[in-house]
A and B are shown apart, each in its own frame.
Chain A
Amino acid sequence: KAGVTQTPRYLIKTRGQQVTLSCSPISGHRSVSWYQQTPGQGLQFLFEYFSETQRNKGNFPGRFSGRQFSNSRSEMNVSTLELGDSALYLCASSFGGTSEETQYFGPGTRLLVL
């Protein structure tokens, strides 16, 4: 079974631009979560989508948004990029049915904002 995939793997943007990242979950998984990983703040939860609906949300500004499609693929968008948005963005998928399931991570998209 193929793992979680993310595109693009690397991205360079300038301040003020916007960016869209994509995540394809493991086949059959309906929950997709997004995390931001930085050296200073570690791994922080952004939001989770399940059946095309945002189910949970972390403590990030409204510039960070996402969506999920009927095939469970998810996109994350960051508008008006700031230098501090430079990070590794990881998505993770799971079946989404219970609170005791494992999440499997994708390889991440490394975003550099100049």
Chain B
Amino acid sequence: GENVEQHPSTLSVQEGDSAVIKCTYSDSASNYFPWYKQELGKRPQLIIDIRSNVGEKKDQRIAVTLNKTAKHFSLHITETQPEDSAVYFCAARPPGYGQNFVFGPGTRLSVLP
């Protein structure tokens, strides 16, 4: 079955710097890759997603890139702010899995003022 790895597990950056989180997946037929942000005690919130027919997508300070050949995708956050501090999860949706995801283990991002 699908397996999603995520690195790093923790990441500390200075406010204003960029942060990059990388994920790899194992099932080449997976076709949808969302990123969720989960603040302490809150629900996971979708921040950006990418579909398998797209290589890159950007939304203000957040961008995601997808390399289907290498089976990896990355989250890029520029000009980080303290409110970006949270746990970020990548996920993949393999075929035959319905609406559901296999999640990476998460990255705890700390943005230091």
Please say whether chains A and B are actual partners in one complex: yes
Flag whether B102 is at the interface (Cβ < 8 A). yes
Quick check: B43 and A55 within 8 Å, CB to CB? no
| Count of chain B residues near A, Cβ 8 A | 25
Most buried by A among B34, B42, B95, B100: B100
Determine the distance from Cα of A102 to Cα of B46 in the docked complex, in whole angstroms.
8
1/0 per position for B88-113, CB-CB distance to A under 8 A?
A: 01010101011111111110000000
Secondary structure class of chain A's binding surface, majority of residues: strand
* Interface residue ranges of B36-77 to A (CB < 8 Å): 36, 42-46, 49, 51
Determine the distance from Cα of A30 to Cα of B28 in the docked complex, in whole angstroms.
28
Chain A, interface size: which category? 20 to 34
For A66, what are the chain B residues with a Cβ–Cβ distance below 8 Å? none
Quick check: A105 and B97 within 8 Å, CB to CB? no
Chain B: residues with CB nearer than 8 A to chain A?
31-32, 34, 36, 42-46, 49, 51, 89, 91, 93, 95, 97-106
